[in-house]
Every structure is written in structure tokens, then in C-alpha cells.
Amino acid sequence: MSEGKTITLKVVGERSIHCSGCESTVKFTLSRIPGVQQIKADSKTQLIQFDLIQAITDLDKVKAEPEWIGYQVELA
């Protein structure tokens, strides 16, 4: 399988990742996107990190998923 590019997103705005349940929700949501692997979400730093295989999906699609569940994100 192709190696992915590591991407880091920062959660900004009113809603934050505040517990392990939120971390799990973000990881589950992103894990459903083909081409997204090795997902980490950290409630302390408000960072979401993952490997993205750009031949399979693009970053805009991935960024839309946390926003769909209420987390505003930007590239860190």
C-alpha cells in the first residue's frame, strides 16, 4: 500500500475535544474515509493527526468530516 503523508489538524472554535470519548468519535469518523490511516486525536493539545494517501482521497474531504460532527478544524 502507498505510504501516506502525515497531516495535522488543530481543533478551533467553541467545541473542543475534551475527553477520550470525543477522541474516539473523531478517530472513528475519520477511519471511515478511504485513504486515512494511523489516526490520533489528543484532547490535551486539540490536535488530530493522521496519514493521508492523497491518491485515494483529498484533504478537503477529510477536513469536512470533523466539521460535520461539530469540530471546526484548520491545518496546524
Q: Where are the domains of the chain?
A: 5-75
Query: For residue 2, what pLDDT is reported?
Result: 56
Give 2's contacts (C-beta < 8 A, 6+ positions apart): 53, 55, 56
**Which triple of cell numbers denotes residue 21?**
470519548
User: Cβ atoms within 10 A of the Cβ of 48, count?
Assistant: 27
C-alpha grid cell, residue 16: 473542543
What is the pLDDT at residue 31? 97
pLDDT value of residue 3:
76
The reported pLDDT for the residue numbered 4 is: 85
pLDDT in tens, 2-40: 578 999 999 998 999 999 999 999 999 999 999 999 999
pLDDT above 70 (res 56)? yes
With a CB cutoff of 8 Å and minimum separation 6, the contacts of 39 are: 26, 27, 30, 31, 48, 49, 50
φ, ψ of residue 59 to 5 degrees: the values are: -60, -35
Q: What is the CATH number of domain 5-75?
A: 3.30.70.100
Segment 58-66 mean pLDDT? 94
